[in-house]
Structure 1
Amino acid sequence: MSHFLHVCGLIVSVNTLPDPVLSSYYQQYYQCELKTADPVQQQASSDITQIPAYFPVPRKLWPVFSFDQIHYETYQNMKNQGIKPGLIIPENFMKPSIYFQIKQEVSEGAIPILDLSSIEPKRFRGLATLATSAGLRPMAAYIQDGWNPNLKTLPAGLYIVQANPGQLPLPARLIQSGQQQFYTAYPQTAFNGTGIILNPEVPLAESEIAYPELGISWTFLNTRFDSQLNRVHTNPLGYILLSAGIVILPLHLVLSTHYPNLLSFWGTSTSWASVFVIVILMLILLITMLWRRFKKS
């Protein structure tokens, strides 16, 4: 069922009415109170992509690309201009055909963004830790399904929320909510305001490009990880877990080719705890062997 909203005089059609949190963002960033409109006005309704143009401010956009775009001309041109685009890392990033290409792009300046669209929050933590071990340390998370108020429960960091047909998007501004930052993302076409342009069809002008404050946090096995621009911050246990991830990595690459259905296991706390115990036991065994050899000598 379609609903019609007055957005400061602009009428838009949406499938669901906005929640109180989203409504408060429109009040705060657009100084706009959302009201329902009469269905008889539907002929005057506009597409959601027209909302940013209705609140014109200079463009401050960051280009972000999906993995399937890395060989396209627009992506390559931006790289050649010295622009550091965001690169969405898919859930199956440990497939060798994907991993080595993404690793190469990241080494050349692309900024990794982990796709949170179809991943349960608990599994996201394990995959974020594994991605960090694999040299693909995420600096943000991407949500394809659009805004929902549950995003407010996520840990501190940068979240890119896609604008989709039939949904009221986030305002095209930097949405600061506690320790979270939300950016709206429109596909292909540049728009007025601050946000993300997904898979742009043409390169952006240098004056239109602005990088967000990158970084994201997560907690895994009661250990906090803070992925910031220069490095990941954690405690000694966190660094041991990252080392355990390096142990997992070769096996993960093999399994992704021959037994892809087993990959979901490695995103769970149980698998990481198992690997952690194995690593500790191997260290104990190694220390014991060295100690016995030392005593004999």
Structure 2
Amino acid sequence: MDSGTADTATVLDGLDRRLVCALQVDGRAEPGRIAEVLGVSARTVTRRLARLTGSGLVRVVLMPDARQAAIGAVLLRVRVLKGKVDTIAHALAARPEVPFVDVMLGGQEVGAVVLAGDGARDRLLHSQLPATGAVVETSAHAVLHLFADAGRWRAGGLTPAQEAALAPPPPSTPAPQPDGLDLRLLAALAVDARQSHAALAAAAGAPESTVRRRLHRLAAGGLLRTHATVDPRLLGMAVDANLWLGVPPGRLAAVGEALAGHPQVHGVLATSGPANLMAAVFCPDHGGLYRFTTETLGPLGVDRVETAIVARAVKRAGVVLPRRA
């Protein structure tokens, strides 16, 4: 995930990394709560978070519950003419129903996730993409089961006790049907999920007390999941890869669940097509990717691995990312 800064690998120190990990657990956690869990002063947390979010190094956005939307979604792989990859990647990223877009190593393949109904999906695949003249080949694989999405990724910088202390309460009521005010609040949080109650009240045109009650109701219904978008290089992860795996059917559920809890994995999906499982992973370097393949996938009984390394993330969790410097 791109931050748009040069030499980002050395930007974050240990405390900054733990703060990012805290935002992964709960993107709306108050500085005082984070400070108490991490054992530092609230002033330090406030200052550090202001620098991280104000500089654009970290962006916290609302992430819809993908458990429903993901089933039947499409994992799209598009091979394009040389020199046309940016055109296709940014055209896909401009579509609201496409929350993830990657340019793969080699510069002639774009990967994307498409959340759309049959009609919009078919128009994209059969009419709009071929009409550009830049598309050489398209493959589309349906998502059959979601084991973990990007909102579940934890970089491993916190202890289990710290993660548990920061975790928001699980949903306690059925998801409400949002009304006009709810939708305005959700739209504001989709841009910046760390906005204060006062800022949200101003944006939504409602009293702050009402906004607090509505946010509590939305959280109780599981509609306030957040995602901390950050360049993984800032967390020591220089290699981003999509692994298309072949797993014996009797092992598919067990392997998917095992990978979903791995700190290097930021997405695991059962899919249609030649591979029946796709895992998105972050690794410290290419040697780390090799070790992940041999030491993590090997013992799980994975039969086949196709490794597609991401050269550049264009859009993640609905956020279009700046180009790397």
Question: TM-score normalized by structure 1?
Answer: 0.26
Q: Which has the larger radius of gyration?
A: 1
